[in-house]
Chain A
Amino acid sequence: MKKIIVSFLITASLFQFSCVTSWQPVVTYNTAIPDNRLIGTWNSEGQDYIVERVFESAVYKKQKNEPITPLIKKGIKDSILYSKSYIMRYTKDKIEYHFFCSMIKINNEVFMNMIVADITSINNGGDISELHLSQNWLDRLHTYTIARVQFTNTNIIKLDFIDGSFIYDKIKNGRMKLKHESDDLYDTFVITASPNELQQFIQKYGNDDRFFDKENSVTLIRKS
């Protein structure tokens, strides 16, 4: 399937829109900006989202002692990035999803990168073996989504995810240039541009309203 979600309006999930994913991040350790207004418990359409600093998150505390499968690579660049980044987590159907979030300022706008950090069960101390997931998740390519972040005030944040369908059509029609890979047989599409190329791309198109689909917008209301 295309790595573009075409409107999932069935469940009550906050994130029900079309995303485009990139293999490389747009945010790097030397471009990341912290913004602690993100920290707290948020709600959107009945779903709670908790945002905390990476170093204070359960996923960091769990994985920093894991020698085999570490989230945490103990390099100085990673430490810098983590110190400016956040973990967003939410629970659905007794499964907790954790995302690593980092932000960058481009054209005076703030953009967020999200990538999966962990998945835990709220039962059995987080052990997900009871979920009986396929082993082949380990072999899938982890990719990033990108959203524009607007802090309306201290209690409201709007996330506008890039419209995957718009980007896909423009790139496939040759109207936008961005390094990518696509496979027609398996309907795969992923952006492979470098962080610098992604930043330039957003600089060029980030002010275009068509870049963000209204259906791809999420408004988070602060709970605490």
Chain B
Amino acid sequence: MKKVTILLVFTFLIIFLSSCLKTLHPIFTVKDIVYEQKLLGTWKAKASNDDLAFAVITNLSSDNSIELPEKIVAIKQKGYLILYKNQNGEIIDQFIAFLARIGEHLYFDYYPADKKEDRKLDEFWREHFIKMHTSFRVEIANDGSFELSQFDESYLTDLIDKKKIRISHETDPDDNVVITASTSALQRYIIKYGDDPSAYRSEKITFKK
């Protein structure tokens, strides 16, 4: 059976996340973490297609209401909580994020953080989902603004289909693919393809104060 799709009505981020590369494992280990104080603050997050949202980036330890896995609690001082808000100031999405240096570049690893509205959903229903990681290359400009480029899932699945890469993944009877590569395998992928623009989605998100 085709994986069931729930009918949710969203705007901004869906454009970025719909064909983004999602992985079961994070792209970083604790030793890769970099903390940049200058990323904290409220940002205008603008996509190339003119969609605009606001991003509020705080230190992960500043909000005790966020449910964190036990080992993430131990490193939360080095992490970020990233809230995306619409123009009415409503939170539309939030993520636990860690900045990591992999090879020559900086990357964000995003992991969903439930909003209070999400936590109101029935536990049995919620437990039928597994949160996935999404990752972005981060380029910080001299003026402090920064840009996120997101890995494109179809680029990797194309490499897999053409047998140009060996990376752990699972394919179900309906050809749905989930990338199950370990963190070290994901890092090898990033180091090998991280400088190839076609490995990323064409749209970028620009963050300006």
Chain A residues with a Cβ under 8 A of chain B:
1, 3, 5, 8, 11, 13-16, 19, 21, 23-25, 28-29, 62-63, 66, 69-73, 75, 78, 81-82, 92-93, 95, 97, 99-100, 102, 114-119, 127-129, 131-145, 181, 183-188, 190, 192, 195
Contact = CB atoms under 8 A, between A and B. Distances in A.
Contact of B93 (A100, A134, A183, A185): A134
A115 B8 contact: no
B164 interface: no
A163 B174 CA distance: 27
Given A128-B7, A185-B72, A188-B24, A141 B93 contact: no
B180 A192 contact: yes
Chain B: interface secondary structure?
Answer: loop
15 contacts: A5-B127, A11-B123, A24-B170, A70-B5, A71-B5, A78-B2, A92-B122, A134-B112, A134-B115, A134-B118, A136-B13, A143-B130, A181-B25, A186-B69, A192-B178
A178 B63 CA distance: 38
A112 B12 CA distance: 37
A139 B128 CA distance: 13
Interface of B: 1-10, 12-14, 17-18, 20, 22, 24-26, 29-30, 67, 69-72, 90-95, 111-112, 114-115, 117-118, 120-125, 127-134, 170, 172-174, 178, 180
Contacts of A78: 1-2
Contacts of B26: 183, 185-186
B9 A143 contact: no
Contacts of B7: 62-63, 66, 69, 118-119, 128
